[in-house]
């Protein structure tokens, strides 16, 4: 098993890509801390992992809350003895042009998507340094690599995640801590359902995708597992697109 003996923390683990990554990590032998603001659905993910013979613990966490991060990491280390892997996956979407976007929405998207990644990385590094290394996987998006006609703060926040990932990788490689970003394209999750509540434009978009279909949360989880595991032992500061060729 590829994560035997490792402890991982996955944010936004209640559903979608985070839940798929948490399940996959547990099946690969990791003890998994599931962090989310949605306690009910996240407890269901926890129960599913435990029922399947894995080890998981739900931790209620708003990733935009810096002091809550410290408590959450302390709790993970207290329960599981270490923290080897952090997946900064929690995220929120918005759909506005520059003129249509208000400052509060901009700040909220930045707080969760960009500040959440900074705060989580900062909170986990001491525990990883103490145990001699670790792997941090940040969920960016193809949105960090291109602009959008109808989404503004989301794309800016993912650009921040990509750039932040490079600096963190440079600063902490010497401590055995690898930091990489994953860039999904169109992945069939609740987030995409919320972005395209009307099926029309969404199915029309399929024709523009080289593989003519959306990806699944499980397909992204496999890429996250690669970056988190020792299979990627010489990979840091890298961007891995999981987009079915969308940006090719």
Ligand X SMILES: NC(=O)c1ccc[n+]([C@@H]2O[C@H](COP(=O)([O-])OP(=O)(O)OC[C@H]3O[C@@H](n4cnc5c(N)ncnc54)[C@H](O)[C@@H]3O)[C@@H](O)[C@H]2O)c1
Mind telling me the catalytic residues? 154
Residue selected from 2, 27, 29, 37 as contacting ligand X according to rule CB under 6 A: 37
Distance CA 247, CA 145 (A): 9
Residue 15 interacts with ligand X (CB under 6 A)? yes
Residues 210-229, interacting with ligand X (CB under 6 A)? none
Residue 38 interacts with ligand X (CB under 6 A)? yes
The radius of gyration of the chain's CA atoms, rounded to the nearest angstrom, is 17
Nearest Cα to Cα of residue 137 among 93, 178, 195? 178
Residue 18 interacts with ligand X (CB under 6 A)? yes
Q: Which is nearer to ligand X, 29 or 215 (by Cβ)?
A: 215
126: number of Cβ within 10 Å: 12
Closest separation in Å from C-beta 15 to ligand X: 4
Q: Which is nearer to ligand X, 135 or 141 (by Cβ)?
A: 141
Would the CA dihedral through 19, 25, 29, 33 be positive or negative?
negative
Exposure of 16 by Cβ count < 10 A (0-12 exposed, 13-18 middle, 19+ buried)?
buried
Residue 121 interacts with ligand X (CB under 6 A)? no
Using the rule CB under 6 A, give the single segment among 31-39, 128-136, 165-173, 227-235 that binds ligand X: 31-39
Give yes or no for a contact between 17 and 189, defined as CB atoms under 8 angstroms apart.
yes
Q: Which residues pair with 183 in a beta bridge?
A: 241
Nearest Cα to Cα of residue 239 among 159, 148, 175? 159
Residue 115 interacts with ligand X (CB under 6 A)? no
Residue selected from 3, 6, 10, 12 as contacting ligand X according to rule CB under 6 A: 12
Q: Which is nearer to ligand X, 68 or 82 (by Cβ)?
A: 68
Closest separation in Å from C-beta 177 to ligand X: 21
Using the rule CB under 6 A, give the single segment among 13-21, 25-33, 70-78, 123-131 that binds ligand X: 13-21
Give yes or no for a contact between 159 and 151, defined as CB atoms under 8 angstroms apart.
no
How many angstroms separate the first and last alpha carbons of the chain? Answer: 33
Residues making contact with ligand X (CB under 6 A): 11-12, 14-18, 36-38, 61-64, 89-92, 112, 139, 141, 184, 186-187, 189-192
């Amino acid at each position: 098993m590829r994560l035997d003996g490792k402890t991982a923390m996955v944010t936004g683990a209640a559903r979608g890509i985070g839940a798929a990554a948490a399940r996959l990590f547990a099946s690969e032998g990791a003890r998994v801390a599931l962090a989310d603001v949605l306690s009910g659905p996240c407890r269901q993910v926890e129960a599913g992992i435990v029922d399947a013979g894995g080890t998981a613990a739900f931790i209620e966490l708003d990733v935009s809350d810096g002091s809550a991060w410290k408590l959450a990491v302390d709790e993970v280390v207290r329960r599981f003895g270490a923290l080897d892997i952090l997946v900064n996956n929690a995220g929120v979407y918005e759909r506005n042009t520059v003129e249509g976007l208000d400052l509060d929405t901009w700040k909220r998207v930045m707080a969760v998507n960009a500040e959440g990644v900074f705060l989580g990385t900062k909170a986990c590094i001491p525990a990883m340094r103490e145990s001699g290394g670790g792997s941090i996987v940040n969920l960016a998006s193809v949105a960090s690599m291109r602009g959008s006609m109808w989404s503004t703060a989301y794309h800016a926040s993912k650009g921040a995640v990509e750039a932040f990932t490079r600096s963190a990788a440079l600063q902490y490689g010497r401590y055995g801590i690898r930091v990489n970003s994953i860039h999904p394209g169109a992945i069939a999750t609740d987030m995409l359902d919320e972005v395209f509540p009307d099926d029309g434009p969404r199915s029309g978009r399929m024709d523009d995708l080289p593989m003519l279909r959306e990806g699944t949360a499980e397909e992204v989880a496999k890429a996250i597992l690669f970056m988190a595991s020792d299979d990627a032992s010489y990979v840091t500061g890298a961007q891995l697109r999981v987009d079915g060729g969308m940006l090719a």
